[in-house]
Structure formats: structure tokens, C-alpha cells
Amino acid sequence: MEKKSMADLNEKVRNYIPDEITYSILSKLSLKSLKRFECVQKSWSLLFENHFFMNMFRNNFLSNNNDPSSFIFSDFLNYNEEAFISFSGERFENKVKLDWSSSSQNRFHTTRILGSGSVNGILCLYGGNDDIVLWNPVTQTIKPLPDSEALLGIDLSIPDEALGIVHCSVDTYAHGFGYDPVTNDYKVIRFVNVYLESIAQSDDDFEEEIITLDWLSYAGFDPLNFIGFPFWEIYSLRSNSWRKLHVDMPFSLFYSNDTQVYMDGVCHWLCEANYINVVPCLVSFYFSDEEYFETSIPSDLDDCFVDKLTWLKLAVLNGSITLISYHKKTTTFHISILGEFGLEESWTKLLIVGPLSCVERPIGVGMKGEIVFTRKDRKLVWLDLSTQMIAELGYNEARIYSSSSRIITYKESILPIEGISN
């Protein structure tokens, strides 16, 4: 009887794995996998409250990205000249000014880069008059996107009864650029807003106000006879054309390039609360099947959409969608990562960095989580999240336009893109 007890004890010893080893293994998993393993045993469901485990998980998460660091900084040197400077190297010691002016052929008066990074070495830029181009800085190839047939097909004529009272306007809001691996195609998605404005002239001034569709109906006009409802459309490089999307997704009229990212065939953007009663959320759109998911943002970030003094950035770190916010009152950065789309509780607070009284204004985030910001002396500096050390980049921000400069992640590519031409 005693021998059997000893055998049982030896079996239990062989089956026992110390917590240190268990934590070491689990800390190397992705957040999505880790969330699914919470149900295995009670102690695993409390891992994110364990400081010892969180330190290991945080260190692994921040150190597992072996991609070379590289980003492009955009800045206005004067009111008519915008510069793109490429930073690369272990400590961003390599600085090269990119020649965008020769590629643009003065197409844009002002230029913005859509999203927060390049896609296979390609950047999507847009400017005034809804012009959009794809640009490869290495090969200096540029592909202007054509006009939208959907927009050309909208009947913008105004009924005789409304002439001199209203006129029709169209605004487009680019929300994402990315690559569809299923169809081997580059795509751009945007929201189109078609609306009417009233024109009330007086001797003193010219006043405008937006007219709603309800007002037109009340006035006896049928809006559907001469105006289309707001809609989404998508561009395909393979077909070199736009087409309407039959989706009803949350959109952002006050979007920022800092709140749009692309990863693995999915385009993501943050949507603030707007007039259609949409709560602040993350929208994830799949290019392949053209479906989308909504994910509520962490409750502690709700004020970021109201407090204009707070900076909010959507990024991709180590294969995870990441929210990085800077709170000016506390001078701290908060970093949260998402485990699974559609689940608010899947957000996990990774770390809080600060207080950092030297921060004047955050600029952007690099591929390894390097946070780039300016100091009060206009010097560009970067914060290494893994070491929490700050270093200068050897460049001063021009600050011609307030808060106009930003950085985007970038990977060089010389591979040709189907359909692209000079």
C-alpha cells in the first residue's frame, strides 16, 4: 500500500510544472492565444493581474519584433515646400531626403499620406480636389487613381424650384489603403458624402448652412430624384476603377491619419461618436470578403475623443493592433493591445510610460513601438518602449503649419506592382 502511494506521489511530481516555467511559456504567446487559454484554470484567468507575468509578457512583446527600424517624417520647410525625410538604422542614424517633388509633378498643393505606413513599399498620398496617387519612393513610380464612375453618375442637378436656394456638394473621406492577398490587388476605401447647401445672400455677407434631406422632403422635393445617399466605394488597382460598396459601416468625418492602419489584408480606423449615434469604436474592414467588425475602445479612452489635449494613435506592434494615447495633464503614454476583433474586453493595457515632462507634441510610432515626439526646443526625439530611454534624432521640426508633421512606418521595395506606371 505504501509503495502505491509513493508511485502516485512520483507521478504527481513528474506531472507538476513550476509556475516560473508555465509563465515563461505563456508569456511568449500572442494576446489572442493567451486570452483563449484563460479558461484552462483559474490562475491563468488572473495572469494579467500578475505583475511577475506581465513583466515577462511585456518584455517578450516589445523585443520579438526583428524588423529593421525605418520611418518617413513629413514636414513643411516653408509654406509651399513639403519635405519627406527617411530615417533608418538601429538608432535612426541614416537620414535621407526623398525627392517627392519630381514624382508629384506639382499635382498636389498639400500632400497627406493615407494610413500610418507603407504597404509593400507603396505609399498612398492624397491632396486637394480628391486627387489620390500611389507612390513608390525607391523606384519613383507614381500611379494616379482615376475619377470615380459612381460620382460621375450622380445626378447633381437641382430642381427648378430650388435654383438659387440650394446647391449640391460632394466630399470624400479616404479611410484606408492596403493589399488584398486573396486577389493579389491593392485597394483604397473611402466614404463619400453627398449633401445640399442652402444659399442665402444678403447685402452684407454670404451665408451657407447644410440642408438635410428631411428639409427637402418637407419643402416638397424628392431628394432621391437628384441626389444619392452617402455611400462607401472601393478602388481596385487590377481593374483601375472604383465601385460602390454595399455596406453600412461607421465612418469618421474628422478622421486623422494617426487613427488608420493596415495589417494582413484588413484596414482599421477609429471612429468618433457622430451624428448617427455611433459610439467611439474601432472598425476593421476585410478587403477580401468586404465584411467588417466593430470593436468598442477601452472605456478609459472615451475622453480621448472629447479632450482635444489628448493624442491618440492607432498602430501595429508585433502583429497586434495597438492603441497609444498621450495624456497631456499627466504627461504619460498609455499603450493597450487588442486580442480579438469585436470584443471590448479583449483590449489589454500593456504599460504606462511616464511622466515625461519633456514632451511637447507626439508625432507618431515606429515599427518597434518607438514613440517619436518633439521637445519645446523643436528637436525631434524618440522613446524606446523596451528600455524607456529617450534619444535625439538629429533633426529640428520646422513647424510652419501647426501640428502638420507626422511619421509613417516604411519598408523599401523595388518589386513592380501590377498596373503601376510612370
Summarised one tens digit per residue, pLDDT across range 340-365 is: 888 877 898 998 998 998 998 888 89
Q: Is the pLDDT of residue 111 over 50?
A: yes
Instruction: Give residues with Cβ within 8 angstroms of 209, minimum separation 6.
Output: 197, 198, 200
pLDDT digits (tens, 9 = 90+) for 321-341: 999 989 888 899 999 999 888
Q: Which residue has the higher pLDDT, 320 or 30?
A: 320
Report the first-to-last Cα separation within the chain, whole angstroms. 86
pLDDT band at 399 (very low <50, low <70, confident <90, very high): low
Cis peptide before 223 (omega within 30 of 0): no
Instruction: Give all strands (DSSP E) within 256-386, no chain letters.
Output: 260-263, 266-271, 281-286, 292-296, 310-317, 320-327, 332-338, 347-353, 361-365, 371-374, 379-384
Which range has the worst mean pLDDT, 1-10, 215-224, 328-337, 381-390? 215-224
Give the orientation angle of helix 19-26 with respect to helix 51-63, to 10 degrees.
40
Tell me the helix, strand and coil percentages in the chain, rounded to 5: 20, 40, 40
What is the spatial order of strands in the sheet that 406-409 belongs to? 94-98, 82-88, 70-76, 406-409
Amino acid 101: pLDDT: 56
Contact 285, 248 (CB under 8 A): no
Which amino acid does the sequence have at 86? S
* Domains recognised in the chain with CATH numbers: 1-56 (no CATH), 65-409 (2.120.10)
Q: How far is CA 29 from CA 22, 45, 164, 316, 337, in A?
A: 11, 15, 64, 17, 14
Is residue 421 very low, low, confident or very high in pLDDT (cuts 50, 70, 90)?
very low
Average pLDDT score over the chain:
77
Q: Is the pLDDT of residue 177 over 60?
A: yes
Cα separation, 4 vs 2, whole angstroms? 5
Is the model's pLDDT at 202 over the cut of 60? no
Question: What was the pLDDT predicted at 25?
Answer: 83
For Cα atoms 28, 29, 33, give the angle at the middle one, nearest 5 degrees: 170
The answer on pLDDT for 245 being more than 80 is yes
- Among 189-203, 206-220, 317-331, top mean pLDDT goes to 317-331
Residue 224: the pLDDT is 45
Query: pLDDT-based confidence at 236, cuts 50/70/90?
Result: very high
Question: Among the residues of 94-222, which ranges form H helices?
Answer: 101-104, 149-152, 213-218
**Residue 221: other Cβ atoms inside 10 A:** 20
pLDDT higher than threshold 80 for residue 273 = no
Q: How large a percentage of the chain has pLDDT more than 90? A: 22
Measured CA to CA, the distance from residue 62 to residue 320 in angstroms comes to 11
| H or E element that contains 95 | strand 94-98
Per-residue pLDDT, averaged over 106-135, amounts to 78
Length of the chain equals: 422
Whole-angstrom distance, CA of residue 58 vs CA of residue 16: 26
pLDDT for position 261: 93
